[in-house]
Amino acid sequence: MNKLMASILEQNSMLHGVVKDVDGDTYVIVSKEITLKAKKAFSCLLTPVLKDKVLVSVSHESVYITAILERDEESTLDIVAKGGINIVSQEGDITFNAEESLNAFASKSNVVISEVSFLSNITNIKAQTINVISSIYQGFIDKVSLRYKSVDKIVEGHEENQSLSSRRIVKGTDIHQVQESITSVKGQMKVDASIINMG
């Protein structure tokens, strides 16, 4: 800010202005027919665009945009911070409401939640590795379709499967290795095979 502007404006003042031009990190602000060059303050997470009505802080030789007050056109809300963003709530809730979609992109994500309720009509998960560690898991699903290239299942304790009907199709070899086996059939039992070896 030059000396002429410094003589017109009060030091340590707040002004309302409109963004008239953007040149890299510098924003040209017009406030009461006065033109100022300002930078975005670190606390102003939103990136100003043309025609935004902004709040400007004038202090000594520094002019900063501290907040976006109004935006004429509806646009995507971009929150940009070079060092990261921390959202902390000491008491109460943090709520995100989106009418269309909520997207999150990160190279790494750590989420620690004591209790979570997840409600979804359709869920698509694409991951190279999924590790789930849970003391108790309860799932109530109307229908599930799973396609795997390879599955390793290890149950150290008791495993029990209950169903109204069951069908198992194996195109290759099916091997069962057990120490003891008990098969109880109340109705008909049928075994179709070209060769049966029992020894």
Phi, psi (deg, nearest 5) at residue 181: -140, 135
* pTM of this structure: 0.48
Task: Convert the pLDDT of each residue in 69-125 to its tens digit.
Answer: 999 877 777 776 677 778 888 888 888 888 888 888 888 888 888 888 888 888 888
State how far the Cα of 42 lies from the Cα of 47, in Å rounded to an integer. Answer: 11
pLDDT band with cut points at 50, 70 and 90 for residue 34: confident
Mean per-residue pLDDT for 179-192?
91
Q: Is the pLDDT of residue 42 over 80?
A: yes
| pLDDT reported for residue 20 | 95
The domains of the chain are located at 3-70
| Interacting residues of 189 by C-beta distance below 8 A, sequence separation 6+ | 183
Q: Which residue has the tokens 């060092």?
A: 83
pLDDT band with cut points at 50, 70 and 90 for residue 55: very high
Nearest residue to 117 via CA among 101, 98, 93, 100: 93
Mean per-residue pLDDT for 162-174?
91
| pLDDT reported for residue 51 | 93
Average pLDDT of the residues of the chain: 85
Q: Please check whether the domain covering 3-70 is classified as CATH 2.40.110.10.
A: no
| Interacting residues of 72 by C-beta distance below 8 A, sequence separation 6+ | 51
Mean per-residue pLDDT for 14-35?
92
The SS3 of residue 5 is helix
| pLDDT reported for residue 11 | 64
